[in-house]
Amino acid sequence: MAKATVCLTYDFDAVSTWLWSYDSWDEPTRHSRGVFGAEVGAPRLLDLHDKYDVPATWFIPGHTIDSFPEISGEVWDRGYDIQHHGWSHTGPATFESEEDERADVERALDCIVDLTGRKPTGYRSPAWDFSAHTLDILEDIGIEWDSSKMASDFHPHWAYGGWSAPEDDAYDRGEPTDIVELPVSWQRDDWPAFTFTWARPHRMGYVSEDSIFQRWYDQFDWMYENVDGGTFILTMHPQVIGQAHRLMRLEALIQHMQTKPDVEFKLMDEVASDFRENN
Ligand SMILES: [Zn+2]
């Protein structure tokens, strides 16, 4: 086992995130931020990963695949993995019914199969949260691992289902399922710190790049020194990290990680398979 594993992941939301997440469809300047991700950010990231021969897992909503098929296909053709991120980038808990959620998940599945010729094995919730039906839906379509939860920082674990959070009694986490969880964190995500919007939600942005990247260096370095066999999972968005002043810092971070002995960059799918084999 490598001393440390790194998974660089991209949520290629493109325009989808400016539609359903903000309940707004006719704001072309917002749309253009997603277009930047598809036309400028994504190609730059592919070139960066090619340059350093570093694998990457791309979570691509079906809406992005349908809207930007060429660059979505290029992600796959250049050897990077594509996994499930919903069709419309709608938070699972905000669908009006289980049927609506299931239809969105199945539509996204079809998009990925059409693009890649194979079914996705992994899922990342667009809201990093689940409805009461999400796990069942994922199991029904053959998803083997998820990357939406935060119960651990550097270790994969089994995803739990059947939780209970009553107002007048103790919390019950539920029981482990057969789905592997590859944990995420808002601390290892580029969106909240860097993405300014006038509207709720996420009216933030303008955090110093140096402070956020320092956080990522610190987390990786601490894991490297203190956690045996830890996995560092970083979530980024082409329209955010693909800006020049961030891309240069991401390149330096990759170089930093590559200078450490016994660090392995892997696809999320490989990490999930390794965990399943050993547990
Ligand atoms: Zn997303």
> Torsions phi, psi of 202, nearest 5?
70, 45
- Rounded Cα distance, 110 and 112, in Å: 5
Alpha carbon of 230 to ligand 1 centroid (Å): 24
Mean pLDDT of 2-14: 95
Alpha carbon of 41 to ligand 1 centroid (Å): 15
Prior bond of 156 cis (ω within 30°) = no
Is the predicted pLDDT of residue 202 greater than 70, yes or no? no
Alpha carbon of 1 to ligand 1 centroid (Å): 31
Alpha carbon of 180 to ligand 1 centroid (Å): 20
59: left (phi over 0), alpha (psi -120 to 50) or beta: beta
- E strand map for 85-229: 122-123, 145-146, 157-161, 175-181
Tell me the CB-side half-sphere exposure of residue 165, using CA atoms within 13 A. 3
Alpha carbon of 7 to ligand 1 centroid (Å): 17
User: Do the beta carbons of residue 13 and residue 242 sit within 8 Å?
Assistant: no
Is the predicted pLDDT of residue 1 greater than 80, yes or no? no
User: What band does 196 get if pLDDT is binned at 50, 70 and 90?
Assistant: confident
Alpha carbon of 57 to ligand 1 centroid (Å): 13
Among 29-33, 66-70, 181-185, 220-224, which is the least confidently predicted range? 29-33
- Each domain of the chain, given as residue ranges in start order, spans 4-162+174-278
pLDDT digit string, tens, across residues 144-186: 999 999 999 999 999 999 999 999 999 999 999 999 999 999 9
CA distances to 140, 223, 235 from 229, rounded to whole Å, are: 31, 9, 20
CA distances to 16, 159, 259, 279 from 152, rounded to whole Å, are: 29, 11, 26, 16
Token pair for 218: 């610190």
The model carries a pTM of 0.97
pLDDT of residue 24: 81
Alpha carbon of 154 to ligand 1 centroid (Å): 21
- Rounded Cα distance, 126 and 276, in Å: 24
Q: Which residue has the tokens 């029981």?
A: 175
Among 62-66, 194-198, 231-235, which is the least confidently predicted range? 194-198
CA-based nearest residue to 247, from 195, 196, 209, 191: 209
Alpha carbon of 164 to ligand 1 centroid (Å): 26
Alpha carbon of 159 to ligand 1 centroid (Å): 20
Domain 4-162+174-278: give its CATH architecture: Alpha-Beta Barrel (3.20)
Alpha carbon of 167 to ligand 1 centroid (Å): 30
**Radius of gyration of the CA atoms of the chain, in A:** 18
Is the predicted pLDDT of residue 200 greater than 70, yes or no? no
Alpha carbon of 225 to ligand 1 centroid (Å): 31
Is the predicted pLDDT of residue 201 greater than 70, yes or no? no
Alpha carbon of 235 to ligand 1 centroid (Å): 9
Alpha carbon of 8 to ligand 1 centroid (Å): 15
Q: Which residue has the tokens 């990342």?
A: 124
Alpha carbon of 262 to ligand 1 centroid (Å): 31
Percent of the chain predicted with pLDDT > 70: 98
Alpha carbon of 12 to ligand 1 centroid (Å): 7
> Torsions phi, psi of 150, nearest 5?
-135, 25
Question: Which protein residues have a CB closer than 5 Å to ligand 1 (ion)?
Answer: 11, 13, 126
Other Cβ atoms less than 10 A from the Cβ of 30: the count is: 18
User: What band does 20 get if pLDDT is binned at 50, 70 and 90?
Assistant: confident
Percent of the chain predicted with pLDDT > 90: 91
Strand partners for 236: 10
Tell me the DSSP string of 225-271: HH-TTEEEEEEE-HHHHTSHHHHHHHHHHHHHHHHSTTEEE--HHHH
Mean pLDDT of 42-62: 98
> Torsions phi, psi of 67, nearest 5?
-85, -35
User: Do the beta carbons of residue 135 and residue 159 sit within 8 Å?
Assistant: yes
